[in-house]
Each structure stands twice: as C-alpha cells, then as structure tokens.
Amino acid sequence: MHSMKPFVNPKFVKPLVFMACLLPLVFGIQAGFTDQLGANPIEEITHRTGDWTLRLLLITLAATPLRRLFGWGWPLRVRRMLGLFTFFYACLHLLTYLVLDQFFDWEDILKDIIKRPYITIGFGAFVLLVPLAVTSTNAMMRRLGKRWGQLHQLIYVIAVFGILHYLWLVKADYLLPLIHAAILLTLLLVRAWYQRQSLSAGRPAPQTS
C-alpha cells in the first residue's frame, strides 16, 4: 500500500488542492483581460466553466477508488472541497448562461429548459447539486446521520446527467464526452467491484459516498 506522505506534507495537501482548483478561474480571468477568449467570449466562458464542473465532479468521484486501489487517504480528506468547487464552477456556468448568454430573459430561459433536452438535463444536474452543497457541512452530516450518505448518492445521478448534457449538446465530435463517460464508467465499476468483494467476504458494504 503506497501513501503520498513521501511527496507532500499532509498539512499542505488542502491548501495546494484549493489553489489548484482556483487555477481555471485565474486563467479564465487572465484570458479575459488579455483578450484570449476568442471570437465568442461568452461561448468560451460557458465551455470552460462547463468543462471544469464535469472534470471536478469526476475528480471528486475518484476519491474513494483511489483510496481502495492505492490506499491513498488524502483524496478523501479533500473530497468535500472538490465537491464544493464542482458546485462553484457549476454556479459560474449557470450564471454565464443566465446573465451573459440570456441577459435574464426568463421567458427564453424557461423555453430553453423545457424545449432543449441538453439544457433540461443540465438544469436537472444543477438542481441536484444544490442540496449536496447545502448539506456539505459537518453540522449537516451530524444532523442528517444515515440520510446524509443516502442523499449524497445523488452524485452518481448528477454525473450521468452531466455526461448526457455534454453528449446531447455536441453537434459532431463525440470524442470528449465519450472519454468523460468512459472515466465515469471506470470509476463506477471500481466501486461496484469493491462493493461486491466486501459483500462476498461477508463484510458490510463499504461506505460508498
């Protein structure tokens, strides 16, 4: 079993991950100020914030498999932070759509949510992210007890919705959404495998959220 102790002092892991999660925002702001967002800056910002929402969601889901496969404890210690950054970029993504793309045109926004399936499922993913972000505190974990773990199983539904959102919005090139789908499938298979291992060894199913 390997741990990360030889490389990074555990007390630096959280600040390092925090700063790493801020980098896409910093690079985005820098690109904005140096006119590097291309011919359609709003589309570029929508894509960047959408990409990082999905990437951080998959990184958050990788925490437990990394623990199982390599014995690494540090991903679990930063999982809540990663989950909250997923929500942070999802909020930036939604705000880009509501403010910059749609200029608060609520009628058009509602039409989009009802009529465009990729927006409908993207919106669904966002709505499901809200209770996970709201209940991410220690106090909420204590208050909800067993229901907390059950509620946070929603992360799997959100991940599938996020992938479908990406798959349904691309017009031609399906490679990137399919790579994200393959990563999600691999993470879920690793979990299912360990779950089955524990059950067949008569151990209680491992805490999966």
**What residues have CB less than 8 Å from 113, skipping those under 6 apart?**
119, 120, 123
Q: Is there binding between residue 57 and ligand HEM (CB under 6 A)?
A: yes
Q: Is there binding between residue 122 and ligand HEM (CB under 6 A)?
A: yes
Q: How far is CA 67 from CA 15, 53, 72, 108, 167, in A?
A: 20, 22, 5, 45, 29
Could you say which of 63, 66, 92, 125 contacts ligand HEM (CB under 6 A)? 125
Q: Round to whole Å and give the CA distance between 206 and 150.
A: 13
Q: Round to whole Å and give the CA distance between 140 and 146.
A: 11
Q: Is there binding between residue 183 and ligand HEM (CB under 6 A)?
A: no
Could you say which of 24, 50, 65, 75 contacts ligand HEM (CB under 6 A)? 50
Write each residue from 60 to 89 as x if it is in contact with ligand HEM (CB under 6 A), else as -, in one continuous string.
------------------------------
Q: Is there binding between residue 46 and ligand HEM (CB under 6 A)?
A: yes
Residue among 187, 130, 177, 133 at smallest CA distance from 156: 187
> Which residues bind to ligand HEM, rule: CB under 6 A?
43, 46-47, 50-51, 53-54, 57, 90, 93-94, 97, 119, 122-123, 125-126, 162, 165-166, 169
